[in-house]
Amino acid sequence: MKICNDCGKITPLGPRCPRCQQARDRVDNAQRMAKTKASGRNTARWRKLRAAVIERDGHRCQRCGSGHYLTVHLDAAMGGNHWHAEAGDCATLCSSCHGQADGGRARGGGS
Per-residue pLDDT of the chain (111 residues; tens, 9 = 90+): 788 888 888 888 788 888 998 999 998 888 887 777 778 888 899 999 999 999 999 999 999 999 999 999 999 888 888 888 999 999 999 999 998 887 754 444 445
pTM for this entry: 0.62
Residue 23: Cβ within 10 Å count: 14
8 A C-beta contact, residue 46 and residue 82: yes
67 to 7, 19, 70: CA distances (angstroms): 49, 43, 7
DSSP class per residue in 96-107: HHHHHHTTS---
Question: Of 62, 48, 67, whose CA–CA distance to 93 is shortest?
Answer: 62
